[in-house]
Amino acid sequence: MSDPADNPTALHYRLDDLHIDVARQRVLRDDGQLLDVSGLSFRLLHHLLTQGTRVVGFDDLIANIWAPAIVNEETVTQRVRLLRQALGDDGRQARYLRSVRGQGYQLCSEPVVEVPAAAPAPAANSTRRWIIPTAALLLIVAGVLYWQWPSPDATAASPLLQRADYYAGIGQRDNNERAIALYRQRLQEAPDDVQAQLGLARAQAARTCLYNGSGEDAEQALQLAQAVIARHPTLAAAHAARGYAHDCRGEVGAALAAYEHAVQLDPAADASRASAAYLYARQGRLSDALAANLAVRAPERVRFWELQVASNLDLLGYSAAAEARYRRSFQLYPDNVFSNIAWPTFLYEHGRSGEAQAALDEAFARHIEHASLYLLSAELALQRGDLVGAQTAAQRARALKQEASWPTTFAWIIGAEPAPTSAQLLVHSAALRAGLAQGSDPSDGVEAALLADLAGERQAALEALQTAVSAGYRNASYLQVSPLFAELRKDPGFTPLLQTVAAAVAADRTRVLASGQLPADAQAVTATR
C-alpha cells in the first residue's frame, strides 16, 4: 500500500470500509455490498481519493470534474450530496467525506492504494448493473456503437491488446472498463501503438454512448482518433473511430462524414457501413439506410445489425417483419441493452402498453439499467395516470444521464424537477433548433418543440416540430402515442406534420421496392404505415 498522492493513477483504493476499483468504476463495502456510485459521482470520489486528506477547494473540483463546462459552487454541493447518499454517508456525522466551511471538502480518513486482490468479491445477493447501449427509444444520444473486431493475428504480438479487444467486444460496462485499463497499460508499454490508441478511443466513446459516461470521454476519444489520423491519414479504422466519437457527442453530420470516408478508404469496412446506415436513418434517409445495412457483408460481425434492420423496416411500415426481429433479439440476447430497450419500445409505440410494461419489467429483472428504460417507464406511468411513478422514473433517468438534455427536459415537462422560466425554456428550444443547422440529431427538434410548448408558445412548438421533420425525423408512431404530445396533438397544425412524415416515408418505401432490396420477411407482408 502507498500514499495516493504518490500514485495518482492508481486503480484500486481503500477508504475506511470501502474498496474502490477505478478501472471498473465499482465501490464495494467490506461485506461485499455493491454501491451505486457512477458518472460524475464516481469521478468526484476518484479525484478526492487522489488528494488524500487535504482540503479540496471548489475551484479545484470544478476544474478537475466539470471543466470545460461552467458550473457554480451549488452544482458542486449538489453532487457531493448525491455522492454521500450513494455511500450512505451523513453530512452531519460524516464517515467518508466532510465539509470544510468556506473552503471545500475533505476525506475523513486517509485513503490507501491497495492491490486488486484486497477488494472483496460482491456478495451473492448483490446486484450487478450493466449499462449497455444508448437507446433507440427517445433518441436521447446519437451513437451507432459498432466496430469490427481485429483479425485474430492483428494482436498476436500483444496479449494485452488481445485481452483488451476481447473485453471491449463483450458489450458490458464492467468489461468496457477492463478494456480501457488494458489499452492504457499497453500504451504505457508502447505509446505509439495505433491499435491500442484506436481501441482506447472506441472504448472511451462507448463510455459516453453506452454506459452513462460524460462528454469528456467522447472528447478524449475524438482527440485520440484525430492524433492517429494526423499520422496515418488513409487508415480507415482511425476515421471510423473519429466517426464514433463525433456520434457519441451528438454531431451527426460530422460522424456520418467520417464513417463514409472510412468506407471509401476500405470498402470492406462493414462496421463503418452499418454505422453510416444508422445515421442515414436518423436523417430520414430510410431507403439509403436499408440499402447500406443490406450491403454489410458479414452481419454477424456487426453489433446490433439485426435491430437496425428491424428499425428500418418498422419506420418503412413493415412492422410485422420488424416485430419478429425485435422479439427474437429480445429472447436471444438478454444482456444486450439495445434488445432490452428496442422490444418494449416497439410495443409501446404500437399502442400495446400492457405488453410493453411486461417486457420492460423483464428487462429490469435482467439487471439492465439505462436512462431510456426509465424514460419509457415514465411514459407508461403517465399513460396510466401514475404521475408520481412517472416522476420517480424520470428522476432516475436524469441521475443516470446528467449531461444529456432530454432527460432534464422530460423531468421539467412532468414536474419531476422545477422548470426554468418561459424565457429560459425558449432559449433552450432555440439553441436545439440552431443545432440542427450544424448537423445535430433531428430529435433535437422534437425536444425543442416540447420546450416551446412548455413555455406556452404553441406556434413555436409546431415550427420546431416541423424543423425536426424537415431534418429527417420519421417516428410518427411516437408522436401519436406519447402523452407528452397530448396537447400538441389537439392543434390543427399537428395533423399536417404527420402527413408530411407519411409522404416522406411512402417515397422512401417506393424507392426500396424499386430497388428490389426488400428483405424476404418484409416482402410477405403489406406496409402498415
Longest dimension (CA), the chain: 71
Structural domains for the chain:
4-118 (1.10.10.10), 159-282 (1.25.40.10)
pLDDT of residue 9 exceeding 60, the answer is no
**Orientation angle between helical segments 458-471 and 494-515, nearest 10 degrees:** 10
Among left, alpha and beta (phi > 0; psi -120 to 50; other), residue 527 is beta
- What would you report as the CA-atom Rg of the chain, rounded to the nearest whole angstrom? 23
491-493-495-500 Cα dihedral, nearest 10 degrees: -160
* Stronger pLDDT, 317 or 145, i.e. the higher one: 317
pLDDT for 117 equals: 44
**DSSP bridge partners of 56:** 105
pLDDT of residue 138 exceeding 70, the answer is no
| Mean pLDDT, rounded, for 21-44 | 81
pLDDT for 212 equals: 67
Helix, strand or coil for residue 90?
Answer: coil
For 335-393, write each residue's pLDDT tens digit. Answer: 788 899 999 999 999 999 999 999 999 999 988 888 899 999 999 999 999 999 999 99
Half-sphere exposure in the Cβ direction for 71 (13 Å, CA) = 20
Alpha-carbon 475 to chain mean position: 19
For 154-193, write each residue's pLDDT tens digit. Answer: 444 588 888 888 888 776 778 888 889 999 999 998 898 9
Highest-pLDDT range among 35-44, 143-152, 442-451: 442-451
pLDDT of residue 153 exceeding 70, the answer is no
Grid coordinates representing 281? 436513418
Q: What percent of the chain has pLDDT over 90?
A: 52
pTM across the whole model = 0.66
Q: How confident is the model at residue 528 (pLDDT cuts 50, 70, 90)?
A: low
For 254-270, write each residue's pLDDT tens digit. Answer: 999 999 999 999 998 89
Grid coordinates representing 246? 463525433
- Residue where the block lists cell 477547494: 57
479-485-490-493 Cα dihedral, nearest 10 degrees: -60
The Cβ of residue 424 has, within 10 Å, a number of other Cβ atoms equal to: 12
The Cβ of residue 356 has, within 10 Å, a number of other Cβ atoms equal to: 24
- CA geometry: angle 323, 328, 331, nearest 5 deg: 125
Question: Do 473 and 443 contact (CB within 8 A), yes or no?
Answer: yes
217-206-374-364 Cα dihedral, nearest 10 degrees: -140
Q: What percent of the chain has pLDDT over 70?
A: 87
DSSP H or E run through 423: helix 422-437
pLDDT for 58 equals: 86
State how far the Cα of 354 lies from the Cα of 480, in Å rounded to an integer.
17
pLDDT of residue 150 exceeding 50, the answer is no
State how far the Cα of 61 lies from the Cα of 11, in Å rounded to an integer.
20
**Orientation angle between helical segments 215-231 and 194-210, nearest 10 degrees:** 150
pLDDT for 171 equals: 67
Among the listed residues 311, 304, 313, 247, the one whose alpha carbon sits nearest the alpha carbon of residue 279: 247
State how far the Cα of 469 lies from the Cα of 350, in Å rounded to an integer.
20
